[in-house]
Structure 1
Amino acid sequence: MTDDQAALAVQVARLYYHQGLTTGAIARELQLSRPKVSRLLTLARRTGLVEIRIHDPQAHPQSLEAQLRERYPFLRPQVVSVPAGSSEDAWMERVAIAAASLLDSVLRPGQTVGLAWGNTLDAVSRALKPRRMDNLDFVQLNGSANALDFMSGFVTDAITRFAGNYAGRAHLFPVPTFFDDPETKRAMWRERSVRHVLDRQARADVLLYSVGSPAARHPSHVYVSGALDAADLTQLAAEGVVGDIATVFYRADGSHSGISLNARASGPSLDLMAQVPHAICVVSGLGKVQALRAALAGRLMNTLVTDEVTARALLTPDEEGQSHAAPP
């Protein structure tokens, strides 16, 4: 879209939405055909120049968003409505569509997008609507679980699906999710091919990820892929771990330093989430509420896309009788 097209689309949108003119009246005023006006309105919506939201004071999603903003002032929440009595699979489908739309609205030419692979991002990648955008880079944030997963396409297909959707470039990260020895990781991190990926991660303008939890209805892939053995899981429990982001683990208060397995993890430091303008976390499912609450306590995101059932559970006091808000 050229600057002239964008300016004309905005002018048409203002006349239509702000002044209430019909497409015929706009066509006469601007000396355009009615089909041209309709195309410009469609263009304005598709490219994010216009965002349509229904503000219903009785609607649960908007009320939940307001409560989330009050509890977490740093957060930009988007709560997705779901049919009463629907399954968690249906929630995930709707949340994935909303997340794909949100990503589309924040992307700009020349940006770098960091992606943490997993079940949720796989669903988001399948909900994308094709759109070409210049000079986009999509970089994998954490290594693949094992050689079998890397070859199966579970990891690579999702990353390349994002890049292909926008005619961008995919930067894969073909290292283990967890190294056997922290020294091996430190040596690998000095390799130029690995540094290429790490440098792109550090320059990301947008991050897209979920929280991992073994308690989810569909446990996060890392917990069922064989990347963690029984001793690893025991150690994580002993250290108070409640979730992970990009296979980097954190505790109930959102802290992540000093967790032994993180020294062997391939994911980025979770401090990165505070440095990126759009750190978008996509979460759906009641089994992820504890992990999500902890991530919010640590301010490990600035944008959240979730469903109304999960949001309501997040706002409900936990088993200790209080909800964890982020520290001031």
Structure 2
Amino acid sequence: MREDKQIVPSTDDSAQYINAVTVARLYYYQDMTTTVIARELNLSRSKVSRLLSFARDNGLVEIHINDPRDHPQQVEAALKERFGLPHAHVVTVPEMGGEREWLERVASHAASYLNRLVQSNMVIGLAWGNTVNEIVSRLTPKATVNVEVVQLNGSGTTHSMSNAFSSEIIMRFATNYGARPQPFPVPAFFDYAETKTALWRERSVRRLVELQQRCDILLYSVGALAAEVPSQIHSGGYLDPQDLQAVTEAGAVGDIATVFFRADGSYSDIALNSRTSGPDLELFRRARHSICVASGRGKIEGLRAALKGGFINELIIDEPTARLLLETSNADEAAQKTPDDRHR
């Protein structure tokens, strides 16, 4: 039976989507060339090509390559088994390209994934930083309705309560989906825990904190002091030397949304966390999509700790970093075994 095909005049966005789906069905399902599609639908070949690109860019088409030599898929399976991850995305990168290029590739993959994941009537929480900024710069516009984009942690410093870097990330992400931006105009770290406690009783702040608790998607990276592409919190002057020394002495190896944690995933008794504006990390354990995007060897120790703490249920990572994460985790586990355990 011949499939009925009709091109709708491109008068609005919905028509563009319908036309793109029509062309994609002919190209991928019926194996027709762009020349034949153009002739059948009375379009130019360039118009057909643009519609195919539109279909791919807007998540109407997903391409999966089943390669028996596909190393990333093997690494993804190993990550899921080793850490109990429901979802893992391992991004192929050039080994010699450098960590900056790795981050760019990973950010592009994350942006594409988000464009498929984000739907109407969602609440999305962002922990601003260099990695999330790279992702936002690669998003493709997608129309949604009733979407809220809420900032997870404050960005004010001792010098200024406003931060163009963090606010721009929130605004650009919200604009990309036609969503409502919900910035969090508080300091990244308070001078006194009592000040935070008092401010959290204010209705305006309480409303934002309650919105954070309803997030369908959390997007963040793991902060690391030693990364080749340094974390914004560590390099942007948010912590004075005394604070850095205190969290180091407390055994902290990383942070998520300015909340610090140790190698074993513990965090509740780290003193600085009582002064942070970030949410309790329990939020990341129960979110439907708790998406950590990480790239670079400097993230390894923090990633291992975050996975041990159960804060991540979706990981997007470059292949070299993923392999090193597995190697160091397996080596650490082997080192902790007793002689009797090794011979069982």
Corresponding residue of 2:342: none
147, 158, 161: which is aligned to 2:172? 161
| Residues 211 and 283 in structure 1, CA contact (< 8 A), matched pair in contact too | yes
* Cα distance, 1:122–1:40 mapped onto 2, change above 3 Å: closer
Unaligned runs of 5+ in 1: none
In structure 2, what is the equivalent of residue 72 of structure 1? 83
Look up the equivalent residue of 2:109 and give its one-letter code.
Answer: A
Q: Say if 2:154 and 2:187, in contact at 8 Å, map to a contact too.
A: yes
- 1:191 corresponds, among 196, 202, 208, to 202
**Contact 2:156 2:163 (C-alpha < 8 Å) held by counterparts:** no
Larger Rg: 2
1:81 equivalent in structure 2:
92
Structure 2 contact 304–329 (Cα < 8 Å) conserved: no
Q: Deviations over 1:214-272 (max 9, x none)?
A: 11113212122232222222221222111000000111122222221111110011111
Partner of 2:192: 181
Q: Give the CA RMSD over aligned residues.
A: 2.7
Residue identity in the other structure for 1:248:
V
Aligned equivalent of 2:307: 296
Contact 1:144 1:150 in 2 (8 A): yes
Which amino acid counterpart does residue 76 of structure 2 have in structure 1?
Answer: E
Give the structure 2 partner of residue 265 of structure 1.
276
Partner of 1:235: 246
TM-score (norm 1): 0.87
Name the structure 2 match of 1:106: 117
The one-letter amino acid paired with 2:105 is R
Q: Please tell me whether the aligned partners of residues 12 and 41 of structure 1 are also in contact (alpha carbons under 8 angstroms).
A: yes
CA distance in 2, matches of 1:101, 1:277: 19
Letter in 2 for 1:76: H
* 2:63 is the counterpart of 1:55: no
Sort the Cα spacing of 1:323 and 1:278 in 2 relative to 1 into closer, same or farther, 3 A.
farther
Segments of 4+ in structure 1 off by > 6 A? 4-12, 23-28, 34-40
Deviations for 1:181-217, whole angstroms, at most 9, x for unmatched residues? 1111111001111112112111111110000011111
Aligned residues: percent identity?
A: 50
2:257 is the alignment partner of 1:246 = yes
Q: CA deviation at 1:105?
A: 0.8
Shift of 1:45: 3.0
Deviation at 1:304, TM superposition (A): 0.9
Aligned length: 321
- Deviation, structure 1 residue 70: 1.9
- Provide, for residues 51-80 of structure 1, a one-character-per-residue CA deviation record: whole Å limited to 9, x for no partner: 112222223322211211221233311111
Deviation at 1:24, TM superposition (A): 7.8
**Cα distance in 2 between the residues matched to 1:106 and 1:318:** 30
User: What displacement does 1:131 show?
Assistant: 2.5
* Rounded Cα–Cα distance in structure 1 between residues aligned with 2:103 and 2:249: 31
Name which of structure 1's ranges 176-185 and 142-151 shifts more when overlaid on structure 2: 142-151
Is 2:219–2:291's contact at 8 Å kept on the other side of the alignment? yes
Listed as ranges, the gaps of 5+ residues in structure 2 are 1-12, 336-344
- 1:101 is aligned with what amino acid? S
- 2:105 is aligned, of 94, 98, 101, to 94
Cα drift, residue 287 of structure 1: 0.5
CA contact (8 A) 1:285 1:310 kept: yes
* CA distance, structure 2, for counterparts of residue 51 and residue 150 of structure 1: 42
Corresponding position: 1:206 with 2:217: yes
> Which region of structure 1 is more displaced relative to structure 2, 187-196 or 142-151?
142-151
TM-score (norm 2): 0.83
3-state DSSP class of the match of 1:120? helix
Query: Is contact 2:161-2:186 (8 Å) kept?
Result: no
Change (3 A) 1:73 1:287: same
Q: Does the CA contact (< 8 Å) of 2:300 and 2:324 recur in 1?
A: yes
Deviation at 1:10, TM superposition (A): 6.5
